[in-house]
Structure 1
Amino acid sequence: MDLPTAPAPREERVSHCLLDATGTVLSAARPDASFYAASTIKLHVLLAALRAADAGTLDLDRPVPATSRFLGADGSMFALGGEHLDPTHPAEGMPIAVRELLVRMIDRSSNEATDHVLSLLGLPAVAREIERLALASTRVERMIGDPAALAAGATNETSARDLALTMRVLVGASGPSGPGAPAPLAPASRALARHALRAQRIRIIGPALREGVDVGSKSGWVDGYRHDVAFLGEPDTADVRFLAVMTAGMRQEAADACIGRLVRELVPELAR
């Protein structure tokens, strides 16, 4: 029996959060409302992987055999199939560097790459990063397409505020602020994150921006949910902004139009 990835939304909902370079909230509407995260959880996986790389426990240049088969929550193997598969992913068993898995996880939202990275890290590593950043609305409880985890009720959720904060930590030179805040990522890790986000192929916020604006983003979507989070402007400047918009209960065209309107309303100086 096929299980739904997420419960169907009961009503239309929209949430957003806009941060400045220091992490100060410039605009927000229901920023802590939880939504099914869809592929936006790949930002949290990326952050955990880059922290591991900075700590020397994950070698980004190590080749690993490509695969679409993974160990599920019940201890048995499951295989990704259908729409989960990326036709451009290397064939089963072909070598691919961990660094390339991270890029493919972001720029084309590869589910094979995401589950492969999660199998290298473990879900607890992602949970530690969520706790370290005090992301109150975020849970990453399962690998993508794991039927045992789905049947057990495990889910992946986040909020607009948590996405904007995560984006800032991934690409911002200053990192999070305040007592006990974790150190910024190493320059090489920030550079990898920026490269992958700028190479984004599934853009929702981006088309609402004028030509020449430096933007990197990560979108997420399943039936009934459509989200995007982006950095707007050069990340090393004081003018950079971090915008996350989450929607539920809308058709894709309506959700994209809603996100575009918010971009033009919130950052008119950057918009078309």
Structure 2
Amino acid sequence: MTWHELDTRLADVPGTVSTYVGRPGATPTWTRAPHATHYAASTMKVAILAALHRAADTGRLDLDTPVPVRNDFPSARPDAPRFSLTPHYDNDDAVWRRLGQTAPLRWLAERMIVRSSNLATNILLGHVGVPAVTDAWTAAGARHSVTARGIEDFAAREAGISNIVTAADLAALLGALTLGATTAPAPTAPAPTPPATTPPADTTPAATPPRPAIATPASCAAMLDVLCAQQFREDLPAGLPPGTRIAHKNGWIRGIRHGAGVVFPHDAPPYLVVVCATTDLPDDDACRLLADISAQVWAARHALRPAA
């Protein structure tokens, strides 16, 4: 199936389906409505993960510090009361079993990704803060995505405070982690010897500096490892050959099914595949749609545009 045929097929899907396919650091090979905004669902947890590791890199947080596990959070709407999560809507009993106890930030971050724990998410968001998550999106090069509130903060939602993503921004975030994991620290150059005479001014335009890494190589690699351990694999991973490494996060609520991942084939460079679907399709059908797109991209993995 060609990219044009995929576009035609997705045009018949009710709602909005956005895609981004390409190699990290390269011009995308195929996109469809990549800057359309969607409710984020759980995909925003990747940005919280990045903010947490960035805080650890700078020494602001220690990931091995135990913190209280409490189900009590301030609303992002300043005049609203505090709120609590509903256990029924969470996917991870392990965090709830620690309620009233403590747990390390690192463990909570793992549960936030591998089991998409909402309780862990809100606890971590409280420790890093919304501005730090905004900074993580910005550091990745995201243009439209916003993480403005915790999960089940209904008062904030009613006030129009929401979490939104785009396919392009999720690809930028995962691409930044992938490139960051392979970026070696720059060597320290010796101080140059001053010239005997002052050279003429250099009129050559300065090259655009590369975007700084979103986190240290060790932190980027650790985040990818956690994303590879994600246990909900019914959408993008279902379209890949068994055993294929994919660092990914999905998100779903009624009318939403998103999947964002970086795939590491054994016979080709890594590539990004993101599908954001705001659709009336039943969830099982939406999962099959994402899996089928993933399979089509896998089949074309050798033909994707290379990085410059």
* Structure 2 length-normalised TM: 0.78
- The whole-number CA distance in structure 2 between the counterparts of 1:151 and 1:14 is 25
CA contact (8 A) 1:37 1:156 kept: yes
Q: How does 1:195-206 map to 2 (within 5 A)?
A: 195-203=225-233, 204-206=235-237
CA contact (8 A) 2:66 2:105 kept: yes
Deviates more, 1:208-217 or 1:222-231: 208-217
* CA-to-aligned-CA distance 1:181-227 (integer Å, 9 cap, x gap): 12252233123212211111112111110123211210000110000
Q: 1:119 aligns to what?
A: 126
Change (3 A) 1:21 1:151: closer
- The whole-number CA distance in structure 1 between the counterparts of 2:152 and 2:182 is 35
CA contact (8 A) 1:27 1:266 kept: no
1:114 maps to a residue whose letter is T
Q: 2:83 aligns to what?
A: 78
1:196 maps to a residue whose letter is V
Q: Give, in angstroms, the shift of residue 160 of structure 1.
A: 0.7
For the residue of structure 2 that corresponds to 1:71, the secondary structure is coil
Give the CA RMSD over aligned residues.
2.2
1:110 maps to a residue whose letter is S
CA contact (8 A) 2:71 2:84 kept: yes
* CA-to-aligned-CA distance 1:201-254 (integer Å, 9 cap, x gap): 11211111012321121000011000001110069x970011111111121112
* CA-to-aligned-CA distance 1:18-53 (integer Å, 9 cap, x gap): 121324312111111111110000011111111111
Is residue 2:20 matched to residue 1:22?
A: no
Q: 1:43 aligns to what?
A: 46
1:81 maps to a residue whose letter is T
Bigger share in strand:
1
Q: 1:7 aligns to what?
A: none
2:243 maps to a residue whose letter is G
CA contact (8 A) 2:64 2:106 kept: yes
Deviates more, 1:61-70 or 1:107-116: 61-70
- The whole-number CA distance in structure 1 between the counterparts of 2:182 and 2:229 is 23
Change (3 A) 1:82 1:61: closer
For the residue of structure 2 that corresponds to 1:70, the secondary structure is coil
Number of positions where the alignment pairs a residue of Structure 1 with one of Structure 2: 258
CA contact (8 A) 1:167 1:230 kept: yes
Q: How does 1:67-106 map to 2 (within 5 A)?
A: 67-73=70-76, 74=78, 76-85=81-90, 86-89=92-95, 90-106=97-113
For the residue of structure 2 that corresponds to 1:43, the secondary structure is helix
Q: What are the ranges of 5 or more consecutive residues in structure 2 without an aligned counterpart? A: 1-13, 184-207, 302-308
Is residue 2:57 matched to residue 1:54?
A: yes
* Structure 1 length-normalised TM: 0.88
Deviates more, 1:44-53 or 1:256-265: 256-265
Q: 1:8 aligns to what?
A: none
For the residue of structure 1 that corresponds to 2:100, the secondary structure is coil
Change (3 A) 1:241 1:227: same
For the residue of structure 1 that corresponds to 2:107, the secondary structure is helix
* CA-to-aligned-CA distance 1:57-111 (integer Å, 9 cap, x gap): 1110101121221122236321111433332213222121000111111111001
* CA-to-aligned-CA distance 1:103-143 (integer Å, 9 cap, x gap): 11111100111100110011111112223333122011111
- The whole-number CA distance in structure 2 between the counterparts of 1:48 and 1:208 is 30
2:158 maps to a residue whose letter is A
CA contact (8 A) 2:176 2:213 kept: no
Q: 1:248 aligns to what?
A: 278
Is residue 2:177 matched to residue 1:170?
A: yes
- The whole-number CA distance in structure 1 between the counterparts of 2:175 and 2:104 is 26
CA contact (8 A) 1:65 1:94 kept: yes
Deviates more, 1:28-37 or 1:131-140: 131-140
- The whole-number CA distance in structure 2 between the counterparts of 1:26 and 1:96 is 42
- The whole-number CA distance in structure 2 between the counterparts of 1:153 and 1:269 is 40
- The whole-number CA distance in structure 2 between the counterparts of 1:198 and 1:174 is 16
Change (3 A) 1:214 1:139: same
- The whole-number CA distance in structure 2 between the counterparts of 1:118 and 1:219 is 18
Change (3 A) 1:171 1:101: farther
Q: 1:185 aligns to what?
A: 215
Q: 1:145 aligns to what?
A: 152
- The whole-number CA distance in structure 2 between the counterparts of 1:238 and 1:54 is 31
